[in-house]
Structure 1
């Protein structure tokens, strides 16, 4: 056994019902005096409630999926003009991603308060979209200094988005088992993430108000993202980033649909990872475990339902091939990716 593992420096505050108090303590410890609160319009009332009493210099709600460059530039300009010294995010991956775009060029620290299971708050990965191309990178400046997890903030998340967001978190686990920097520590966290998500998500489908279940899923989303941040981006995320940037598809739903197809594609070429995933699911095979979970959740099935045109599959495959990590378990060809994408587009069972 020989590997090099990086653990990212970040404080996590996990306390249901205490977001406001925990956030205030974090801002006080940072010594910040001019906060920029970033929250999409739908999250604005929640953000105002949990940031009440903070030294707020400006509130910003110009948020968009996949962080278009022009949206990032506007946020950067606001942060500079207001001379902010901390970025407070309240929301999902798009909101956190926008703060990361600001931190990337300014170095201003981020304190994230997630309201979904996106996991972006636990990674040092940034993404920007220009035209139809989404570019991602890694930089220590974009890792939030602290995360405040409060499961009560996810209670209003619609069940359809809860499922998609939870499966997006599951994709972090599975991709991290064959990503470029996969190692035994990442694998242990990925297993924990799979178990927590597979246990918690069905509870939320049965009872969306189940706070214990939401804590379980939030915990699973966090450890999944930590594994992903350390292991790096694998085939699944390369495919989804291309699709998101090229066709402006919804992030969580795209990941939920593509995941079983990538697992089927890579699984037989990665027997150790496949066995670990199966064991975490408590199923005879990894594919069967994921199939059972998706069936129990009523998972999103087809990319065509989210606006992906069939005539765009070849272009997406061609754009993905150069991005595939050299160590991907299965050989990747353009034709193979077209076949994978067509099955995901049509909502077919994974091959």
Structure 2
């Protein structure tokens, strides 16, 4: 056994009902005096409650999917104008992504308060979109110095969106088993993440107001993100980054739709990953386990339901083919990728 594993330095607080106290403690630990609170308008009331006892210098609410460059530049200018010394982000992946865009050029520390299962808060990956092209990279400056997880903050996330966001987290787990820097440690994290999400997500769908399912799902989402942060972007994420940036598709739903098709594509040539995932799902095969879970969750099924036009498929395949990571278990060609993307677009059974 030979591998190199990178563990990212980060403080994690996990407690239901304790977000405000946790954020206050982290801001005080950093010695910050001028807080920039980033939260979309939909999270305004929640952000105000969490930041009530903080020395807030500005509140910024221009949050958009895939972080357009011009939106990032306006946020950076606002941070500089108000002399912010820390960022508190309250929201999902788009909110965390904007905070990272500011940190990328300013070096400001981030205290992240997630309200979905996106997982961006646990990675050093940033993403920006310009001229319909999403560019991603890694930089230690964008890794939040602390995460404050409060599962009660996810109780207002609708069940349908919770399912899509949770399947996005599950995609982090699956992709981590064959991504470029996959190793036994992030594989162990990923498999435990699958187990936690498989417990939590059906409970969230069954009883969206119950806290137990939310806690399992958020715990699983964190493990998934840590595994992904170490393993890097595999084929699944490369596909979704192209589709999201190029066609402005919703992030979580795109991941939820594409995941079973990538699993079906790679699993035949990744028998160890298939076996371990099957065990985590409690099924005979990884794909059977995933599909059984998706059926219980009434998961998103087709990319055409989220704005991808059939006429866009050839260009999408061409762009994806250019970004396939080396070492993917199944050799990718224009033909087999075209079949994968068409099946995901139609919502047909993965094969």
Shorter-chain TM-score: which interval? over 0.9
Please report how far the alpha carbon of residue 321 of structure 1 lies from its aligned counterpart in structure 2 after TM superposition: 1.2
| Unaligned stretches of 5+ residues in structure 2 | none
Does residue 56 of the first structure (1) align with residue 50 of the second (2)? no
Post-superposition CA distance 1:151-176 (Å, at most 9, x none):
00000000110000000000000000
Q: CA deviation at 1:308?
A: 0.3
Where structure 1 has 5 or more consecutive residues not aligned to the other structure, the ranges are: none
1:82 aligns with 2:73: no
**How far off its partner does 1:131 sit?**
1.2
- Residue by residue over 1:66-89, the C-alpha shift from the partner in whole angstroms, topping out at 9 and shown as x without a partner, is 000000000010011111100000
Distance 1:301 1:104 in 2: 35
How far apart, in 1, do the equivalents of 2:73 and 2:337 lie? 34
Deviation by residue 1:296-330 (Cα, 9 ceiling, x = unmatched): 00000000000000111111111111211111000
Q: Deviation of residue 19 (structure 1)? A: 0.3
Query: 1:28 — aligned with what?
Result: 28
Cα deviation, residue 338, structure 1: 1.2
Q: What's 1:72 paired with?
A: 72
User: Matches of 2:324 and 2:55 in 1, distance apart?
Assistant: 44
Task: Please report the RMSD computed on the Cα atoms of aligned residues, expressed in angstroms.
Answer: 0.5
User: Corresponding residue for 1:197?
Assistant: 197
Displacement, 1:244? 0.3
TM-score, normalised via structure 2 length: 1.00
Alpha-carbon deviation of 1:182? 0.3
Runs of 4+ in 1 over 3 A off after TM superposition: none
Residue in structure 1 matched with residue 215 of structure 2 by the alignment = 215
* Separation in structure 2 between the aligned mates of residue 130 and residue 339 of structure 1, nearest angstrom: 28
TM-score, structure 1 length as denominator?
A: 1.00
2:93 — aligned with what?
A: 93
Aligned match of 1:310: 310
Distance 1:274 1:55 in 2: 50
Quick one: distance in 1 between partners of 2:300 and 2:329? 26
Q: Secondary structure at the match of 1:328?
A: coil
Match of 1:273 in 2: 273
Secondary structure of the corresponding residue to residue 177 of structure 1: coil
1:80-127 superposed Cα distances (whole Å, 9 cap, x missing partner)? 111110000000000000000000001000000000000000000000
Match of 1:134 in 2: 134
CA separation in 2, counterparts of 1:84 and 1:120?
22
Distance, in Å, in 2 between the alignment partners of 1:53 and 1:312 is: 49
Once residues 164 and 217 of structure 2 are traced to their aligned partners in structure 1, the CA distance between those partners, rounded to angstroms, is 12
Provide the rounded CA distance (Å) in 2 between the counterparts of 1:161 and 1:280. 23
Residues 205-243 of structure 1: CA deviation (Å, up to 9, x unaligned): 111111011000000000000000000000000000000
**Cross-structure match for 2:242:** 242
Q: What residue number does 2:182 align with?
A: 182
